[in-house]
Amino acid sequence: MNHTVVLDVADLPEHGLGSASQTYWGTLAFMLIEGTGFALSIVVYLYLMSLATQWPLGTAPPDLLAGTTLTALLIVSLVPNLFLARWARHQDLWKVRIGLIVMTVLGVAPLVLRAFEFPAMHIKWDQNAYGSIVWVMLGLHTTHIITNLVETAVLTALMFSRHGDSPRRYGDVSDNAMYWNFVVITWLPMYACLYWVPRL
């Protein structure tokens, strides 16, 4: 005898936050793939260093000012980002709007510093293997900053529109905040490789 089970799901929310959201798991998978790319670039850097008699090849170690300032800025940016994630979970529209504006500005600032960081390396991308991997690592991380900045700017515009005050948008803001944490954390081992390993 066949039994048909029917469940009324009309009262369930249309969109969940955090692990109850599909985009959360998609963002985690995206971060796993990209984190593997960052890890591979570090492995290549260390492998090339192990083959070289001198490191860095044909140049002085990079200047610390631009990279260290950028790193400090990224670490400081975690504070408003954590507040933004909390406000998104509480679905506080006005605080989320303010937080997104702040994070948009904090997404532009590292790109300005990165423009000074490339020349501080004292090497061009096509000069030798050291130059190539340094530019790949900086370029890879710069791409992720730009990606997050564009997403943050789009979310800011959405939150100021009639589509802003919905559970789905708050979930998107929360996932975007999680991604920014990833961008900051993945930079720390890259910063150590690029700026301090050549000084060992």
pLDDT at 15: 62
* pLDDT-wise least confident of 11-25, 73-87, 143-157: 11-25
Across residues 55-67, what is the average pLDDT? Answer: 92
- The two most distant CA atoms of the chain are separated, in Å, by 80
Residue among 76, 52, 71, 150 at smallest CA distance from 117:
71
pLDDT at 66: 94
pLDDT of residue 191 exceeding 70: yes
Across residues 121-134, what is the average pLDDT? Answer: 94
pLDDT tens readout for residues 93-116: 999 999 999 999 999 999 999 999
pLDDT at 164: 74
pLDDT at 14: 62
* pLDDT-wise least confident of 3-7, 79-83, 87-91: 3-7
Report all structural domains of the chain as residue ranges with CATH numbers, in order of start: 18-199 (1.20.120.80)
Across residues 120-138, what is the average pLDDT? Answer: 94
- Asked if omega into 110 is within 30° of 0 (cis), the reply is no
Tell me, rounded to whole angstroms, the distance of Cα 149 from its chain centroid: 9
End-to-end CA distance of the chain: 75
Please state, in angstroms and rounded to a whole number, the distance separating the CA atoms of residues 27 and 162: 25
Query: What's the pTM?
Result: 0.87
Share of the chain above pLDDT 70, in %: 92
Across residues 130-139, what is the average pLDDT? Answer: 96
Please state, in angstroms and rounded to a whole number, the distance separating the CA atoms of residues 195 and 86: 34
pLDDT at 47: 96
pLDDT tens readout for residues 138-187: 999 999 999 999 999 999 999 998 877 777 889 899 999 999 999 999 99
Token pair belonging to 4: 């048909």
Contact call for residues 111 and 142 (beta carbons, < 8 A): yes
Contacts with 125 (C-beta within 8 Å, 6 or more apart), sequence order: 131, 132, 134, 135, 136
